[in-house]
Amino acid sequence: MKIVIGNDHAAVDMKWNIKEYIESMGYEVINVGTNENKSCDYPDIAVMACEKIIKKEADLGILICGTGVGMSLASNKIRGIRACVCSETYSARLCRVHNNANVLCFGERVIGIETAKELVTAFLNAKFEGGKHEVRVNKIMSIEEGTYK
Ligand code: RB5
């Protein structure tokens, strides 16, 4: 499984830490984030990361900014992306199990590195349950496609 990671200038340190952590879990990581503290625009990074998922060059994404909010807002504008900003492990696990999220977002200015690692572990180890949850996720996707009835 390949994981794409992205970050803006507010999350460079956390990106390197999390990248190393994900690699230590045995995953290949594609880094599309900035490696500098120079100010940049998080939507540009979100688009680059999400395109990797849409093109099937990556399976899941981890996006980090100051709060995780901007990354999630931008990502959710991309067809086929279900991004969730989380700061506790219950939601980080359930957003895959129930919502089939393909992008996890969080903020370097909000949580510490140990919590971030726990979120990543919960997200990557979880599996979509399908069934009634698939019906609901399909409804979300139909809103995006303009076919919701
Ligand atoms: C950058 O200052 C900050 O706005 C950004 O990292 C993020 O928190 C936006 O949601």
Phi, psi of 61 (to 5 degrees): -125, 150
Condensed to tens digits (0 to 9), the pLDDT of residues 47-69 reads 999 999 999 999 999 999 999 99
| 98 in catalytic set | yes
Q: What are the φ/ψ torsions at residue 129 (nearest 5 degrees)?
A: -85, -25
- In angstroms, the Cα distances linking 101 to 37, 75, 123 are 29, 11, 9
Q: What is the mean pLDDT of residues 95-122?
A: 98
Please give the pLDDT value at position 39.
Answer: 98
How confident is residue 18, by pLDDT bands cut at 50, 70 and 90? very high
Handedness of CA 17, 22, 28, 33 (dihedral sign): negative
Query: What average pLDDT does range 122-136 have in this prediction?
Result: 98
Q: Please tell me the distance between residue 119's alpha carbon and the centre of ligand 1 in angstroms.
A: 19
Distant-in-sequence, close-in-space partners of 13: CB < 8 Å, separation ≥ 6: 108
Q: What pLDDT shows up at residue 136?
A: 98
141 touches ligand 1 (CB under 6 Å) = no
Residue 19's pLDDT is 99
Residue 84 pLDDT level (bands cut at 50, 70, 90): very high
For ligand 1, whether the C-beta of 10 sits within 6 Å is yes
Nearest CA to ligand 1 atom 8: 66
- 34-38 average pLDDT score: 97
pLDDT at 43: 98
Of ligand 1's listed atoms, the one at least distance from the Cα of 11 is 6
Report the C-alpha dihedral over residues 24, 27, 33, 34, rounded to 10 degrees: 30
C-alpha of residue 137 to centroid of ligand 1, in Å: 28
79-83 mean pLDDT = 98
Using a pLDDT cut of 90, give the percent of the chain over it: 100
Domains in the chain with CATH codes: 2-145 (3.40.1400.10)
**Binning pLDDT at 50, 70 and 90, where does residue 100 land?**
very high
Tell which atom from ligand 1 comes closest to the C-alpha of 8. 6
